[in-house]
Amino acid sequence: AKKQHTRLIVLEPKRGTIFDRHGRPLAINLPAYSLYANPKSMSEEDKERAVEILSRQFGFNKSFVQDRLDKEKYFIWLERKMPQELYEQIKAYKLKGIEFIKESKRFYPNKTLAAHVIGFAGIDNNGLEGMELRLDRYLKGKEGMSQILRDAHQRELLIEKNYVAPQDGFNVTLTIDETIQYIAERALEAGFKKHNAKGASIVVLNPKTGEILALANQPTYNLEDSTTARPENKTNRAVAYTYEPGSVFKIVAASAALEENVVKEDDIIFCENGSYKVGNHYLKDHESEGNLTFKQVIEKSSNIGTTKVAQRLGPGRYYKYAHKFRFGIRTGVDIPGEVGGWLKPPAQWSKTTIGAIPIGQEVTVTPLQLASAIAAIANDGIFMKPYVIKEIKDSHDQIIESFGPQEVDRVISSETDKRVKEILRGVVEEGTGRKAKIKGISVGGKTGTGQKVEGGTYSHSKFYATFVGFAPVEDPKLAAVVVFDEPHPAYYGGTVAAPVFQEVIDNSLKYLSTLEAGSDY
């Protein structure tokens, strides 16, 4: 009797909104109506009419509706969170025993924008990926409840008891800048298609704070249609994929060698005319070189020159600096799914390892690790922890929790850092990174072309193309990494990745200057 005369309604809280750093909504909740039936209150004629109208007029599966209505229940779902138009059309038929509950549905206004950062929530407003998952306990809120009385004819009376109001979720502000994110995604997608790549990633940081301003991957997916996306499209390559980076890793050898004073910029290094034996292996350069200054070794990306400098450092000292740059360990970023890559300690090195790790082989990294490392060089030699969550506020705009810059370590001295910056400026001005040049703005960076490993050997047809850099050199405002997986037929980092970096940083710096000037971009 009690069941017949009372109905418990769960009152869904409003899931919190996710904003970009300027308060622009990236994920919001909008009202949506859900359709349910009360079969116990329906006659056979009522059920037949409901089945016929819902299937014929609105495309519901006839056997599904019939099966639901045949159950001896007071409440059973028919359709969750319908479009407003469908709700209004069904409501107009006034079907007995067919009723609605007002809920809310997650909506992503920019569809694919920042998909791998934001993630998505399911039909019950539970976070399933990305920030939606990471911050679910803040965003979700707490359900309320209400009991409604019914008369003997199952008509609801306007009487409530045991009412508990739902508590809406908190709002979250990210460090992501919607405009820079859009600039980065547009350029990455164009490069991904142009170079027929298997995958691609880009990360843009504020090097002084570690704030992630943009993070994107290709292939991507539509947050509004996440259930149909392939698993690999939903994977955040920037934090969860590792690869051998190739020559971009020479930034570690350059930084360590100058800091430890084993070489100076103008020291001459004989590059063996393109072939150099390390252990039982012959190391090659992509172009045969004789005598080069150390500065030219990095500018021209000589494997042999870099290895000779690494040999002066020795395994112990080299490993120390690679570790200080946070390779082989997670950066600690507040994005789910981060992996740490692999950097083997000197005790595990073979006779040939000194000619491999310094040029980006026998080591694996994530794009975010590379972005954070180049950001440390841009930031006077200080490594900042990368982060994407800026603050959490309640519905009254009161701050519940806030997050700011965290200095992790000084990797190299300020003086050494200035020298490394100038060498990396030379890479863009005179060396392999010329396609990263920005008119009127100084750029520092490093190219990398890493061979993929297949069946235990290096492929001669599948590569990773990478560029890391920052600008302006004198006072870096942005640092970034661009990575392409299996681009073809072009595959060099300087050819494939550098132009994307150039476009993104050029347009982003212009946008930032308009913000400083207080005008529209």
The packing angle between helices 250-259 and 303-324, to 10°, is 80
Alpha-carbon distance of 179 to 297, in angstroms, equals 37
Strand partners, 160: 148
Q: Which two tokens stand for residue 320?
A: 């120390």
> Residue 171: what are its φ and ψ, rounded to 5°?
-95, 150
Task: Write out the DSSP string of 147-192.
Answer: EEEE-TT-PEEEEEEEEE--BPPPEEEES--HHHHHHHHHHHHHHH
- Number of C-beta neighbours around residue 269 at 10 A: 22
User: Which residue is listed with tokens 């599948």?
Assistant: 462
Q: Which contiguous run of DSSP H or E holds residue 299?
A: helix 294-299
CA angle 119, 120, 126 (to 5 degrees): 125
User: Which residue is listed with tokens 């040029």?
Assistant: 359
Alpha-carbon distance of 333 to 386, in angstroms, equals 5
* b/e map 180-206, b = 16+ CB within 10 Å: bbbbbbebbbebbeebebbbbbbbbbb
Q: Are 470 and 205 in contact (CB under 8 A)?
A: no
Helix, strand, coil % in the chain, rounded to nearest 5:
35, 30, 35
DSSP class of 335: S
Look up 255 and say whether it is catalytic: no
Residue type, 507: N
CA angle 249, 205, 402 (to 5 degrees): 130
Is the CA virtual torsion 290, 293, 299, 303 positive or negative?
positive
User: Which of 247, 302, 372, 508 is the catalytic position?
Assistant: 247
The packing angle between helices 84-91 and 44-58, to 10°, is 140
- The answer for residues whose C-beta is within 8 angstroms of residue 460's C-beta and 6 or more apart is 451
- Number of C-beta neighbours around residue 453 at 10 A: 15
DSSP class of 248: G
For the annotated catalytic residues, the residue numbers are 247
